[in-house]
Chains A and B, each alone.
Chain A
Amino acid sequence: MEEKKNVVLDSRIPEGPVAEKWTNYKAHQKLVNPANKRKLDVIVVGTGLAGASAASTLAEMGFNVLNFCIQDSPRRAHSIAAQGGINAAKNYQNDGDSVYRLFYDTVKGGDYRAREANVYRLAEVSNNIIDQCVAQGVPFAREYGGLLANRSFGGAQVSRTFYAKGQTGQQLLLGAYSSLNRQIQMGKVKSYNRYEMRDVVIIDGRARGIIAKNLVTGKLERFAAHAVVVATGGYGNVYFLSTNAMSCNCSAAIECYKKGAMMANPAYVQIHPTCIPVHGDKQSKLTLMSESLRNDGRIWVPKKLEDAKKLQSGEIKGSDIPEEDRDYYLERRYPAFGNLVPRDVASRAAKERCDKGFGVNNTGKAVFLDFSEAIGRLGIDVIRQRYGNLFDMYEEITDVNPGKLANTIDGVEYYNPMMIYPAIHYTMGGLWVDYELQTTVKGLFAIGECNFSDHGANRLGASALMQGLADGYFVLPYTIQNYLSDQITVPRFSTDTPEFDAAEKAVNDRIDHLMAIQGTRSVDSIHKELGHIMWEYVGMGRTKEGLLKALDELKRIRKVFETELFIPGEKEGMNIELDKALRLDDFITMGELVAYDALNRNESCGGHFREEYQTPEGEAKRDDENYFYVSCWDYQGDDKEPALVKEPLEYEAIKVQTRNYKE
């Protein structure tokens, strides 16, 4: 991998102390007056929390918005599946929270690999988000006095998470969707459902439009605008099995990457500790059990190896093992945070126990999450009120009811524990953006999970919703004006230009090529193979050797894809297999980027764990001397390795130290 040392990325961080940067920025940025806003068009791709909130807010301000959605309705975007909650520094619980503490926790949780200025801004606007959502009619959980309720999440010692049952993402998304609907009704947003972005069109070095595929008619269509915003989520489905929805994909991000937008920190992939374990080989996706369960649930495996063996063979059940033979390994290893350590720490600890043979199901890849103690303390009614819908969901999938009394040993009541195991959940890496959320291509912006900016090497629970809405409601609608202010004299242009012709032709040629292969392998069979390689070698524990092997294997998978793929039907009309193939094409490219980045980063931090770099206790060992930077990957051509560009990190407000959740 070549490093481009002469390229300097300008992160455009405003002057001044970290707490004053955003205020200073807003005070001095350029704005667009109302008459000119009407003349400007913005494309927003995606309708999740980031996309819907940005599209509606831009339209409220007066811009004309074209909004694209891959599903049949904007309300289906995968933000809807977020369960646990959204963080904000309101300090309603009087437990010592503040903007600074949320900022600090997020930077620390991200293992000191996030950009300080962005995170501070995120913490700063977090309180506006809660105000905004309540005003929209989002039915957050409340106390009997009528004020908002909070709960705790991993990586924090305060209760700052706002929630709506186990359906917080749904309620926040429906809030954003309602604002979006209002703008659609007013004619300020034009909404395109069942459309998928297939390329970004660059004219004179600026993003000026997109090529999108109408998924119903199969036709490629052209759309022009003064700026393009991608809000298309993360790349978790590179691993085939993940908690992402089936249509989540990284094509838009890869298209931007191939047109000059750099990809930052792709190796930072979040593996969520509490998912339902994999069963069989027919599975299509993994189901998350909310992190909020760790508020009351205790994670354990047997102390004795022989008990684990009996669990694996099905001779005994979890409820047969008495308290004294249970190893609550998170409480043992991390007394200060216990079961509420950050996700990366909890995931690695589960893997460590299972690798040592203490796994509790037939595959040996599961640990217990137990509510016996909480039910004993609070009663089943309180626990059901808190987690009832999650218990029901778990029972429907596994046929086991975690709220059911299963055994009594020496007068102690034991309930059925849940079985959980880590799974791919979120991607911290993404398109590189500056402080204004603009990529390395002028006029091309990336928001939400799609960008890399706020979570460093690991995201804390309940921070994804916060970031999506912060970007969409409160950051991008300001920062994009700094760019659009000098575009006011650019008239609306036609899509009948050589650049649009070339972009559409390239997509069309690619489709023709894939349709013509006529091999024997289905898209899913190749995607599963890709996922297996990624999980095995680029998953929770990575080594130099494994990553080199992964890169070899990915070349082989690329070849299989190009020569053995089979797509039935025609390219005209709806062709689901063709659409999946186009996405898989980009997943393979993304997989390579994740592997290259993981290979380059000779340290362990957050979601990136290189087995060569750990402390004697098995904790991640960072190397701040050599890797205190954002790794940005610059596309060099399909058959070439990407080039590395470094954005050095500079911390002013926070002292960089080793993450410690023990004390």
Chain B
Amino acid sequence: MDENISFSLKVWRQAGPKEKGHFETYQMKDIPGDTSFLEMLDILNEQLVADKKEPVAFDHDCREGICGMCSLYINGHPHGPATGATTCQLYMRRFHEGDVITIEPWRSAAFPVIKDLMVDRNAFDKIQQAGGYVSFNTGGAQDANAIPIPKTAADEAMDSASCIGCGACVAACKNGSAMLFVSAKVSQFALLPQGQAEKARRVKAMVAKMDELGFGNCTNTGACAAECPKNISLSNIARMNRNYLCAKLKD
């Protein structure tokens, strides 16, 4: 059975994008170990509302690790200490009695703070809009089994496509680079026959948009892949660089 623990929280509070932010400390008592991290924040917010104070704003939705909405920089790690898990899948049994838990929003120029721990990740949508698709209209498809795709290619494409677009890679990177996110999408299509026709156009457009939106460059540190809750591999970046170079050389 999980034990109850008491600890303090240092939470980043910021009223709006242009306001100055600061840390506030809150005491949490007797939190059961089988409480998820976000349920713990729900408890904090209930306490704040009971004291007629404003609750902490944070993004969250599915609470099962797939929607990519939750974020949080916990004790210096995006999505906290667990590996291969999002913040919503983090359970309090990972922490200890008397801990000080520091919670910050994603820190990146491309992800401005909206309020408290909530940031604007619209830049990710814009990169996808620049070319993260196969140009094809509803209704025009051939039979799904018309093109056999080797299982290894399909599996590898699936691994790349598992990215949930949470932004942890950007938050983890000292350069604020979005290469892991962008390369995951580029790779998914590069590995499948359906993505071949627009391969060059896609990688150029997505990389250009990424640069335009103020994301940093990649220096192969690998923090992104280490912190990625879906274990997206660094090899995606290598594949994207190769694709990009080939596309540019043909220009």
* A residues apposed to B, CB below 8 Å: 53, 56-57, 60, 71-76, 78, 80-81, 90, 92, 128, 130-137, 139-148, 164-165, 167, 169-171, 174, 177-179, 181-182, 184-185, 191, 193, 216, 245-247, 279-280, 282-285, 287-288, 314, 392-393, 396-399, 473-474, 477, 522, 524-525, 566, 568-569, 573-574, 576-577
Known: A142-B151, A569-B54. A393 touches B65 (CB 8 A): yes
Chain B positions within 8 Å of A473 at CB level: 138-139
Within 8 A of A (CB), among B29-81: 32, 34-36, 38-39, 42-43, 46, 48-50, 52-55, 57, 59-69
Given A90-B145, A136-B194, 7 more A-B residue pairs with CB atoms under 8 Å apart are: A72-B122, A73-B125, A142-B149, A144-B150, A165-B158, A181-B128, A566-B49
Chain A positions within 8 Å of B57 at CB level: 574, 576
Residue interface mask B129-153, A partner, CB < 8 A = 1:
1101111111111111100111100
**Interface pairs (10), CB distance under 8 Å:** A57-B138, A75-B125, A76-B68, A132-B141, A135-B194, A144-B150, A284-B38, A287-B63, A288-B64, A573-B16
Contact B128 A177 (CB under 8 A): yes
Chain A positions within 8 Å of B129 at CB level: 181-182, 184-185
Chain B residue at minimum C-beta to C-beta distance from A88? B144
Q: Does B114 contact A (CB under 8 A)?
A: yes
Q: Once the chains are docked, how many angstroms separate the CA of A137 from the CA of B128? A: 14
Inter-chain residue pair count (beta carbon < 8 A) = 215
Contact B46 A144 (CB under 8 A): no
Q: Does B216 contact A (CB under 8 A)?
A: no
Contact A285 B63 (CB under 8 A): yes
Contact A73 B158 (CB under 8 A): no
- A515–chain B nearest beta-carbon distance, Å: 13
Q: Once the chains are docked, how many angstroms separate the CA of A461 from the CA of B72? A: 34
Partner-contacting stretch, out of B84-92, B170-178, B218-226, B241-249: B84-92
Contact A284 B42 (CB under 8 A): yes
Contact A568 B52 (CB under 8 A): yes
Q: Does B115 contact A (CB under 8 A)?
A: yes
User: Given B67, B135, B143, B189, which contacts A71 in the complex, CB threshold below 8 Å?
Assistant: B67
Contact A73 B121 (CB under 8 A): yes
Known: A279-B34, A569-B54, A574-B115. A145 touches B148 (CB 8 A): yes
Contact B66 A81 (CB under 8 A): yes
Q: Does B237 contact A (CB under 8 A)?
A: no
User: Given A53, A169, A179, which contacts B133 in the complex, CB threshold below 8 Å?
Assistant: A179
Contact A392 B141 (CB under 8 A): no
Chain B positions within 8 Å of A576 at CB level: 55, 57
User: Given B67, B114, B141, which contacts A245 in the complex, CB threshold below 8 Å?
Assistant: B67
- A556–chain B nearest beta-carbon distance, Å: 22
Chain A positions within 8 Å of B50 at CB level: 522
Chain B positions within 8 Å of A165 at CB level: 158, 162
Contact A81 B151 (CB under 8 A): no
Residue interface mask B185-218, A partner, CB < 8 A = 1:
0001100101100000000000000000000000
- B133–chain A nearest beta-carbon distance, Å: 4
- B241–chain A nearest beta-carbon distance, Å: 21
Q: Does B97 contact A (CB under 8 A)?
A: no
Q: Once the chains are docked, how many angstroms separate the CA of A280 from the CA of B134? A: 46
Q: Once the chains are docked, how many angstroms separate the CA of A245 from the CA of B85? A: 17
Q: Once the chains are docked, how many angstroms separate the CA of A90 from the CA of B144? A: 9
Contact A131 B49 (CB under 8 A): no
Q: Does B169 contact A (CB under 8 A)?
A: no
Chain A positions within 8 Å of B16 at CB level: 573
User: Given A53, A71, A169, A566, which contacts B69 in the complex, CB threshold below 8 Å?
Assistant: A71
Q: Does B101 contact A (CB under 8 A)?
A: no
Within 8 A of A (CB), among B1-26: 1-2, 16
Q: Once the chains are docked, how many angstroms separate the CA of A615 from the CA of B76? A: 59
Q: Once the chains are docked, how many angstroms separate the CA of A525 from the CA of B143? A: 51
Chain B residue at minimum C-beta to C-beta distance from A520? B50
Chain A residue at minimum C-beta to C-beta distance from B68? A76
Q: Which 3 A-B pairs have the closest CB atoms?
A: A146-B148, A178-B133, A131-B141
Q: Does B154 contact A (CB under 8 A)?
A: yes
Q: Does B157 contact A (CB under 8 A)?
A: yes
Contact A474 B138 (CB under 8 A): yes
Q: Does B82 contact A (CB under 8 A)?
A: yes
User: Given B139, B158, B195, which contacts A164 in the complex, CB threshold below 8 Å?
Assistant: B158
- A467–chain B nearest beta-carbon distance, Å: 16
User: Given B53, B121, B144, which contacts A72 in the complex, CB threshold below 8 Å?
Assistant: B121
Q: Does B239 contact A (CB under 8 A)?
A: no
User: Given B145, B148, B195, which contacts A92 in the complex, CB threshold below 8 Å?
Assistant: B145
Known: A137-B189, A393-B89. A522 touches B46 (CB 8 A): yes
Chain B positions within 8 Å of A477 at CB level: 138
Chain A positions within 8 Å of B162 at CB level: 165, 167, 170
Chain A positions within 8 Å of B91 at CB level: 396-397, 399
Contact A282 B138 (CB under 8 A): no
Q: Does B99 contact A (CB under 8 A)?
A: no
User: Given B48, B59, B151, B165, which contacts A75 in the complex, CB threshold below 8 Å?
Assistant: B165
Q: Once the chains are docked, how many angstroms separate the CA of A279 from the CA of B194? A: 45
- A90–chain B nearest beta-carbon distance, Å: 7
Chain A positions within 8 Å of B62 at CB level: 76, 78, 80-81, 245-246
User: Given B49, B67, B142, B154, which contacts A76 in the complex, CB threshold below 8 Å?
Assistant: B67
Chain A positions within 8 Å of B188 at CB level: 137, 139
Chain A positions within 8 Å of B134 at CB level: 135-137, 178
Contact A147 B148 (CB under 8 A): yes
Known: A135-B140, A174-B161, A396-B89. A568 touches B55 (CB 8 A): yes
Q: Once the chains are docked, how many angstroms separate the CA of A171 from the CA of B16? A: 34
Known: A76-B67, A136-B194, A137-B134. A71 touches B61 (CB 8 A): yes
Q: Once the chains are docked, how many angstroms separate the CA of A81 from the CA of B68? A: 10
Q: Once the chains are docked, how many angstroms separate the CA of A80 from the CA of B165? A: 12
Known: A130-B144, A178-B133. A280 touches B122 (CB 8 A): no
Chain B residue at minimum C-beta to C-beta distance from A281? B32
Chain A positions within 8 Å of B142 at CB level: 131, 135
Known: A80-B67, A146-B149. A282 touches B39 (CB 8 A): yes
Q: Once the chains are docked, how many angstroms separate the CA of A90 from the CA of B39? A: 43
Chain A residue at minimum C-beta to C-beta distance from B145? A147
Contact B61 A76 (CB under 8 A): yes
Chain B positions within 8 Å of A566 at CB level: 49, 52
Chain A residue at minimum C-beta to C-beta distance from B63? A285
Contact A60 B137 (CB under 8 A): yes
User: Given A76, A133, A280, which contacts B35 in the complex, CB threshold below 8 Å?
Assistant: A280
Contact A142 B154 (CB under 8 A): yes
Contact B128 A393 (CB under 8 A): no
- A464–chain B nearest beta-carbon distance, Å: 15
Q: Once the chains are docked, how many angstroms separate the CA of A240 from the CA of B165? A: 27
Contact A178 B195 (CB under 8 A): no
Chain B positions within 8 Å of A397 at CB level: 34, 36, 89, 91
- B139–chain A nearest beta-carbon distance, Å: 7
Known: A78-B62, A80-B62, A167-B66. A399 touches B165 (CB 8 A): no
Q: Once the chains are docked, how many angstroms separate the CA of A287 from the CA of B141? A: 35
Chain B positions within 8 Å of A182 at CB level: 129, 133, 135
Chain B residue at minimum C-beta to C-beta distance from A171? B161
Q: Once the chains are docked, how many angstroms separate the CA of A142 from the CA of B151? A: 5
Interface centre among A72, A73, A90 (most CB of B within 10 A): A72
- A298–chain B nearest beta-carbon distance, Å: 24
Chain B positions within 8 Å of A136 at CB level: 133-134, 136, 194
Chain A residue at minimum C-beta to C-beta distance from B127? A181
- A182–chain B nearest beta-carbon distance, Å: 5
Chain A positions within 8 Å of B120 at CB level: 72
- B213–chain A nearest beta-carbon distance, Å: 14
Q: Once the chains are docked, how many angstroms separate the CA of A279 from the CA of B93? A: 14
- A400–chain B nearest beta-carbon distance, Å: 11
- B26–chain A nearest beta-carbon distance, Å: 15
Chain A positions within 8 Å of B161 at CB level: 139, 164, 171, 174
- B130–chain A nearest beta-carbon distance, Å: 7
Chain B residue at minimum C-beta to C-beta distance from A524? B46
Q: Once the chains are docked, how many angstroms separate the CA of A170 from the CA of B184? A: 15
User: Given B2, B49, B66, B85, which contacts A396 in the complex, CB threshold below 8 Å?
Assistant: B85
